[in-house]
Amino acid sequence: MSAPATDAPAAHADGVERLLASYRAVPPSAPVRLAKRTSNLFRTRAKAEAPGLDTSGLTGVISVDPDARTADVAGMCTYEDLVAATLPHGLAPLVVPQLKTITLGGAVTGLGIESTSFRNGLPHESVLEMDILTGAGEAVTASRSEHADLFRAFPNSYGTLGYAVRLRIELEPVQPVVALTHLRFHTLRELVATMDGIVETGALDGVPVDYLDGVVFSADESYLCVGVQTAASGPVSDYTRQRIYYRSIQHDDGATHDRLTIHDYLWRWDADWFWCSAAFGAQHPVVRRLWPRRYRNSAAYWKLMKLERRFDIGDRLEQLKRRPPRERVVQDIEVPVERCAEFVDWFLANVPIEPIWLCPLRLRDDEGWPLYPLRPNRTYVNVGFWSTVPVGATEGATNRRIERKVSELDGHKSLYSDAYYEPDEFDELYGGTTYRAVKRRYDPDARLLDLYAKAVQRR
C-alpha cells in the first residue's frame, strides 16, 4: 500500500537507500536482479540463485501535482495504485496498460500500450524524467536533455541498462464516464480502414474519439470499440460480476452502445485477463458465481498460471487425452496499419487462436526510440494473441513462423514473452549498436544481464 502523501517523499528516500544498500551487498561476481513478487513477463527463466535488490520502499506514488498535471512515481508502483492516486484529481496517466499489476517502471523499460495509444503513443513517451539505478550502481537522473542516451535507450531494455527508481510523468484530464460504441465489421479491411480514418482525424462521424481498440473473433466478425469521455449522468455497466466485458461487445450488425465509469473502463480487461480467464473455468456461470470477486483479476490468474507451468498441468492433461503437448503463443506484435489485415488474415489461416486484440498507435515523439525503432508519423496496429497451440516439429515452431511473418511485414514484436531470433537479426531489429554503446557507459562491468541473453536465450 502506498504511504500517505505527507510521508511519501521521505518513505521513497528511505526506499532508495535500501535499494542502494542491497546493490552494494551483491558480490561483484553475482548477477544483479530485482526482488519482485509479481511479473507480467512470459519468458522461460532460470530459478534465481542470488537474492534480489530490495524494492520494498519503491512501490508508491510520491506526489501528484494537479496544476502541472504531473506525478512523481516510484518505479515499482503498480498502475492500479497510480490510477487510484490520480483519479481523485480528475487526472489519469496518458496511457494506462490493461492489467492492474503492471508497474510503471515495467511499462517504461518494457513496452506498454492501450486504447489511448493512437493519440498518446506509448507509456515511456509521457515520461519527463526518471531516476535510474544503473548497472554501475549509480543513481542518475535521465531526461531528454540529461543522460539523454540512457533516456532514449531505456524503453525496451527490460532492466538490462538499469532500473527505474522514480519517474515523473505527464497526466491528462479525464471525465467520470466513458461512453462506448461497439462497431461490427464483416471484413477485416473495412475495420482497418475505419480504424485508420479515426487515427488520422481523431474523430468518428465528426465526434472526437478518446479511446480506440478492437477485437477480432473471426475473419467475418470483428469490432472496433470507440470510447468518448463524458460527464453526463446515467446508468453504467459492471463487468466485475457475472457479465463478461468482451462478450458484451458482440452483436449481429451495426453498432451497440455501453457506458462505464472511467475507473471501470481503465480496468475493463483485468477482471477476465482479456478472455484468458476461460482457461481456468472462470467464465462458466456456475464457477463464476462461486469464484470470489477479489480473486477475479489478472493477479490471481497469473498465480494460477505459474502453478500450471510449475507442474506441467496442461501437458499432463493433454497426455491423458492422447494429444501432443502445447506450445505457448503469448505475444504482442506491431505492424504498419496498411499491413494489418494481411497479417491477421495470415494469422487466422495459420494459427488456431481467437479472439485477437487490436490496438492502433502512433509515436508522439519525432525522434523515435532506438531499441524499438517504430517510425515516427506512421500508424501501427498492435495485434495481441495469448494462448497455446499443439507443438510443432521444432521448438517454438509457431512462434518462429510468426516472427518471420512480422519481419516480412516491416513490423516488430514485443520481448515480454518467448523469442527465437538469431543474434544478428535481433541486433538489427532492436538497436544493437546503440544498445551496446549505452551498455558500455552505464553497465561497464556487465553486472546486469545482456538484452539478447534475457529476451532470447534460455537460462
Are 18 and 11 within 8 A, CB to CB? no
**Separation between Cα atoms, residue 225 and residue 152, nearest integer Å:** 32
Confidence of residue 52 (pLDDT cuts 50, 70, 90): confident
Average pLDDT over residues 407-420: 96
Average pLDDT over residues 72-99: 97
pLDDT, residue 38, reads 60
Strand 91-93 and strand 177-185: the pairing is unpaired
**Separation between Cα atoms, residue 94 and residue 116, nearest integer Å:** 7
pLDDT, residue 47, reads 56
Confidence of residue 239 (pLDDT cuts 50, 70, 90): very high
Confidence of residue 3 (pLDDT cuts 50, 70, 90): very low
Length of the chain: 459
Are 172 and 69 within 8 A, CB to CB? yes
41 Rama class: left (phi>0) / alpha (psi -120 to 50) / beta = beta
Mean pLDDT score of the chain: 93
**Separation between Cα atoms, residue 247 and residue 237, nearest integer Å:** 13
pLDDT, residue 307, reads 84
Average pLDDT over residues 15-35: 88
Strand partners, 259: 179
C-alpha cell at 106: 515495467
Q: Which of 104-113, 158-167, 312-321, 429-438 has the lowest mean pLDDT?
A: 312-321
pLDDT higher at 43 or 454:
454
Above 70 in pLDDT, residue 49?
Answer: no
**Residues ≥6 apart with Cβ < 8 Å to 99:** 40, 79, 269, 270, 273, 298
**Separation between Cα atoms, residue 162 and residue 447, nearest integer Å:** 10
**Separation between Cα atoms, residue 418 and residue 385, nearest integer Å:** 13
Report the greatest alpha carbon distance in the chain: 63
pLDDT, residue 42, reads 64
Confidence of residue 349 (pLDDT cuts 50, 70, 90): very high
Q: Could you report how far apart the first and last alpha carbons of the chain are, in Å?
A: 33
Strand partners, 383: 333, 358
For 217-237, the pLDDT digits (tens) are: 999 999 999 999 999 999 999
Q: What is the CATH number of domain 8-174+442-455?
A: 3.30.465.10
pLDDT, residue 459, reads 44
For 298-336, the pLDDT digits (tens) are: 999 888 888 877 777 776 766 777 778 899 999 999 999
C-alpha cell at 59: 512501490
